[in-house]
Amino acid sequence: MRLSTKGRFAVTAMIDVALREKLGPVPLSDIAERQQISLSYLEQMFSKLRHQGLVTSTRGPGGGYTLGLRADAITVADIIGAVEDTPPKISPETMSSTPDMAQDLWDTMNAKVLDFMQSVTLRNLVLDQLAKGVKIEQKPAPNRGVFKKPVHQTVRTNAPNSVFALGQSLLARG
């Protein structure tokens, strides 16, 4: 079976998004850092995933990607089919113009692989990762709006509050 790296990376990135979906949109830069995948490669993949409705994007500060469907509605076949130019298939290494005597074998294997990939949901993969003990870091939510009122903290100092107070404190010292 010849699955490209693109399909493997897409499944890995989607698991990453699904693990962190409750924390809000997941930036591609964070996925690139955690999974050691090129950011430009991720951008190309997520463009295709978004086009298929598997993810949605949020722009601006605090933006990123979230799942477009529930995790139990997205299968591995959906993810790989979205990013690959052709669906994954098992085929003999050499293609010739003569009919392959084992074509029935390849067709049956392709059907079995496709059935398996359609039976594995993103939710299954997330639960597997959680069962293995994957830790999800809790990042503070970014400031998501210009209208959010800033929190003022009072500053207490021991310094004099005027030139006259400064002069008196210097005279008192001696």
| Residue owning tokens 């500060």 | 61
Classify residue 147 by its DSSP letter.
Answer: T
- CB neighbourhood size of 56 (10 A): 13
Q: How far apart are CA 94 and CA 13, in angstroms?
A: 32
pTM: 0.71
- Give 121's strand partners: 75
Q: How confident is the model at residue 51 (pLDDT cuts 50, 70, 90)?
A: very high
Question: What pLDDT, in 10s, does the model give residues 34-50?
Answer: 999 999 999 999 999 99
Task: Give Cα separations from 31 to 17, 21, 22, 25, 98 (angstroms).
Answer: 8, 12, 15, 11, 45
Topology classification of domain 5-90+104-143 = Arc Repressor Mutant, subunit A (1.10.10)
